[in-house]
Amino acid sequence: MSSVFPLRPHASLEQISTPCLVLERGKLARNLTRMAATLAVRGVKFRPHFKTAKSVDIGLLASPPPLGAITVSTLREAEYFAYHGWRDIFYAVGLGPGKLDRVTALLRQGVNLVTLCDHADTATAIRGFAQREALTFRTLIEIDCGDGRGGVPPDSAELLPIAKLLGPCFAGVATHGGQSYGERDAAGLARVAQAEVAALRTAAAGLHAAGYPSSILSLGSTPTALAATDLAGITEVRAGVYMFGDVYQAGIGSCTLDDIAVSVLAEVIGRPAHRPNEFLIDAGAFALSKDISTAKLSPEKNAGYGLVCDLDGELLPGLRVANTWQEHGLVVSATPLPPDAFRIGTRVRILPNHACPTAAAHDRYFVVNRSRDVLTEWTRVNGW
Amino acid sequence: MSSVFPLRPHASLEQISTPCLVLERGKLARNLTRMAATLAVRGVKFRPHFKTAKSVDIGLLASPPPLGAITVSTLREAEYFAYHGWRDIFYAVGLGPGKLDRVTALLRQGVNLVTLCDHADTATAIRGFAQREALTFRTLIEIDCGDGRGGVPPDSAELLPIAKLLGPCFAGVATHGGQSYGERDAAGLARVAQAEVAALRTAAAGLHAAGYPSSILSLGSTPTALAATDLAGITEVRAGVYMFGDVYQAGIGSCTLDDIAVSVLAEVIGRPAHRPNEFLIDAGAFALSKDISTAKLSPEKNAGYGLVCDLDGELLPGLRVANTWQEHGLVVSATPLPPDAFRIGTRVRILPNHACPTAAAHDRYFVVNRSRDVLTEWTRVNGW
């Protein structure tokens, strides 16, 4: 008699259509545990950022039931994760007034949506809208700790007027040490981590002295979240790309190449006889993204558009994706390749420079174990 | 008595959620007409490439009923356009043997799918598969006319063996003058156009002399399609990005900035008081792509990540998207901005460097006329 649960005939990496996004379950789990454990030891609340993974299945592993606090980068993510049960969601991009309608819809569904603001005009729009809709929602003032993107400096004269305009919507301060991506070693990452902490402490102290105590002091980036040591006074830490890691993160020391959990499965489609150091794959700029961030690292760390692994995920030294077109990737080897290697139809896996844009090019993950078995597919929520 | 067809209350660009992809119907139509008319005058068949538009609605304008020959860059596009009725489809990327199953499924549905091959191993795989499946399908040998991506040189000793291995599947030759993107003026584009023609003539003549006449001689790229003059012997021309144009194409002279039909609608979300030349928008690397190809042009043509227009699509001189993060774009002005300009909530439209990757980040087009009215939405087929 056969089981009512027969083993389903699952696919393997030899069979599925290329290019596609592969996620190693074991490495994902290890990365999630490492970050959660690091922050637990430091005694600070973790608010994982779902901007990289954008998947409810990964979300349930990174923020398991009872579905605690999370971070998102788009309102579509907020709507998707709210639909799947999360209720404490920080939308960590400066809010545009044109998005207040969608914010309201989420609030009316019972979502505790935390928003971000760094300008008096935004604060005025938020407060006016909250009053008209008879809603109060928590807004954090964005502090620039040296990143130079959004936010006001921690000692800015603008800080208090913004808090006053927010009124009951004011809930605290947030910063992102994005300049950590410009660091090259542990000491540099620790310095940026401390700059994040110092910026929030300064800003919150000034606001508190003026009668605006912060209930949330939120900071983070993957490199600084692991590098921070003194988090006294900080109420929560955010990080996102740590779930997958990538070649850039390995280049600045926030993970190792072996930690990288995502790769793009590709097939060799060209093997020019007159160019013995090269082959073409069917993963180009669309499947890998045009990210060339590792070119900013040292020449030996420049991965072009990605590093090359065999089908088991083992790194193949000396190979990198040196050029891309829409649907072609050109792999170049430091030394001539044997004629029998990388023949037409050979499958390889490309480790991405930057996991976020690479993953965003795909609508799903093919989840694998270490034996090339595709265990399941997990979908993503892209777009806005 | 009211009409049974009341005017529907359509949205305007002031109302829809940002960031999103905007398509100007009038400019699209003008671009389509220009290319079709140019090639009609030259008396050559046009096989438009759907890799940029990836939309059945645009496809129906570019290749109207009776739905003639088209080009695609992925098998998903081939499947999508076949579903919508097209039957003569050239998949213009070197075929990987792992895709033969999907090719077969299309052939069995009655699709005349033309494939591309530049290697003896691929030819062997195609022929073996065709024999096992009792199918004959047309395959073109890819010729490298100087692009250095795929293909064999036009006088290569590999050419005849590949044709022999393909046997009854051999149908002709194809090339793509991708090096046209490296040209800077009309004379350079004309040179590359002539290199495409010469390469196909040389390759086809050699094959013909050996008993392998080509029924298809297929070439093209947007710049060369408009620059070619002597197309005698060529059976078809391909082009894709001409439908939309982009800042790069304008930079090399294959369109004007005013021809660009796509833009990304964005909202001002940051206006740092201490950086009077800058503002932040909610279209970052994900909504615009990381393409920085115009940096390869002259400094005055370097658009960063895109040029900035007002809500009516009028170019705002001196502004460009100088930096991007995942969901932030930094617009920098050559001169300090008046405090009242680009206030929080202002909407702008960004012209993309390269229309293909920018469009690929979005799942639909918001189609507009010149009056900010959103007439309809057209969906896209992304992925593989």
- What is the reported pLDDT for A228? 87
The mean pLDDT value for B180-196 works out to: 92
Q: pLDDT band at residue B347, thresholds of 50, 70 and 90?
A: very high
What is the pLDDT at residue B148?
93
Q: How far apart are CA A61 and CA A65, in angstroms?
A: 9
Query: Cβ–Cβ of A96/B273 closer than 8 Å?
Result: no
Domain-embedded: residue B39: no
Task: Report if residue A101 sits inside a domain.
Answer: yes
User: Do strands B139-143 and B112-117 pair parallel, antiparallel, or not at all (unpaired)?
Assistant: parallel
Partners of residue A344 in chain B, C-beta under 8 Å: 96-97, 119, 121-122, 125
As a whole number of angstroms, the distance between CA A360 and CA A54 comes to 9
Does B169 lie in the same domain as B73?
Answer: yes
Question: What global pTM score does this model have?
Answer: 0.97
Spatial contact of B268 and B281, defined as CB atoms under 8 Å apart: yes
Residues A101, A163 share a domain: yes
Instruction: Identify whether residues B230 and B289 lie together within a single domain.
Output: no
Same domain, B102 and B187: yes
| Count of domains forming chain A | 2
| pLDDT confidence of residue B47 | 98
For position A184, what pLDDT does the model report? 87
How close, in Å, is residue A6 to chain B by CA atoms? 26
Look at residues A194, A215, A244 and tell me which one is the last residue of a structural domain: A244
Set of chain B residues whose Cβ sits within 8 Å of the Cβ of A325: 149, 178
Q: Find the closest chain A residue to B342 by CA distance.
A: A121
Is the domain of A236 the same as that of A271?
no
Q: With an 8 Å Cβ cutoff, are A269 and B94 in contact? A: yes
* Residue B3: per-residue pLDDT: 65
Which pLDDT score is estimated for B228? 87
**Rounded distance, CA B131 to CA A319, Å?**
36
CB contact under 8 A, B93 and A282: yes
A160-184 as b/e, with b when 16 or more CB fall inside 10 Å?
A: bebbebbeebbbbbbbbbbbbbebe
H-helix or E-strand containing A202? helix A186-209
- Decide: B112 and B104 in contact? Cβ < 8 Å: no
Phi, psi of A252 (to 5 degrees): -100, 5
Q: Which amino acid makes up residue B257? A: L
- Tell whether B78 and B111 lie within a shared domain: yes
Residues A179 and A304 in one domain: no
Closest-CA distance of chain A to residue B38, Å = 26
Contacts of B177 in chain A (CB under 8 A): none
Q: How far apart are CA A114 and CA A92, in angstroms?
A: 8
- Yes or no, beta carbons of A119 and B363 under 8 Å apart: no
The proportion of chain A whose per-residue pLDDT surpasses 70, expressed as a percent, equals: 97
Residues A67 and A85: their CA atoms lie apart, in Å, by 7
Cross-chain residue pair B285–A357, CB shorter than 8 Å: yes
- Residue pLDDT, tens place only, B98-133: 999 999 999 999 999 999 999 999 999 999 999 999
Q: Is B269 in contact with A357 (Cβ distance < 8 A)? A: no
The helix/strand/coil state of B73 is coil
Could A121 and B274 be called an inter-chain contact, meaning their C-beta atoms sit closer than 8 Å?
Answer: no
Return the pLDDT at A7. 59
Which chain B residues have a beta carbon less than 8 Å from that of A97? 267, 344-345
Together in a domain, A189 and A273: no
Where is the domain boundary, B239, B271, B301? B239
Pick among B286, B293, B311, B332 to test the A interface (most A CBs inside 10 A) = B286
Does one domain contain both B95 and B194?
yes
In this prediction, residue B9 has a pLDDT band, given cuts at 50, 70 and 90, of low
Q: Are residues A108 and A172 in the same domain?
A: yes
A103 & A206 share domain: yes
Is residue B57 in some structural domain? yes
Cis amide leading into B161 (omega within 30): no
Residue B189 pLDDT > 70, yes or no? yes
pLDDT over 90 at B195, yes or no: yes
Flag whether B27 is in a domain: no
Full DSSP string of B343-368: -TT-EEEEEPSSHHHHHHT-SEEEEE
Query: Cα B335 vs. chain centroid, distance in angstroms?
Result: 34
Nearest 5°: the CA angle B376, B52, B318 is 85
Predicted pLDDT at B2 = 57
Residue B14 pLDDT greater than 90, yes or no: yes
User: In terms of pLDDT, which residue wins out, B10 or B146?
Assistant: B146
Structural domain includes residue B249:
no
Nearest residue of chain A to residue B363 (CA atoms): A383
Contacts of A18 in chain B (CB under 8 A): 96, 98-99, 384
Per-residue pLDDT, averaged over B6-30, amounts to: 89
Q: What percent of chain B has pLDDT over 70?
A: 97
What CATH number is associated with residue A305? 2.40.37.20
DSSP classification of residue A338: P
What CATH number is attached to the domain comprising A218?
Answer: 3.20.20.10
For residue A219, being part of any structural domain is answered with yes
Is residue B18 pLDDT above 60, yes or no? yes
Neighbour-count burial for B41-80, b at 16+ CB within 10 Å, e otherwise: ebebebbbbbbbbbbbbbbebbbeeeeebbbbbbbbbbbb
Q: Do A176 and A167 touch, CB atoms closer than 8 A?
A: no
Residue of chain B nearest A15, judged by CA positions: B98
Q: In degrees, to the nearest 5, what angle opens at C-alpha B286 toward C-alphas B281 and B288?
A: 65
Q: Is residue A20 part of a domain?
A: no
Q: Do the domain assignments include residue A3?
A: no
Question: What are the Cα distances from residue B378, in Å, to B5, B58, B80?
Answer: 22, 8, 14
Q: What angle do CA B161, B119, A288 make, to 5 degrees?
A: 170
Give the least confident one: A199-203, A230-234, B184-188, B240-244.
Answer: B184-188
Q: In Å, how far is B2's CA from the nearest CA of chain A?
A: 31
Residues A322 and A196 both lie in one domain: no
Low-confidence stretches of chain A (pLDDT beneath 70): 1-10
How many CB atoms sit inside 10 A of residue A110's CB? 8
Which range marks the domain in which residue B170 is found?
Answer: 49-239
Of B239, B270, B294, the one marking the end of a domain is B239
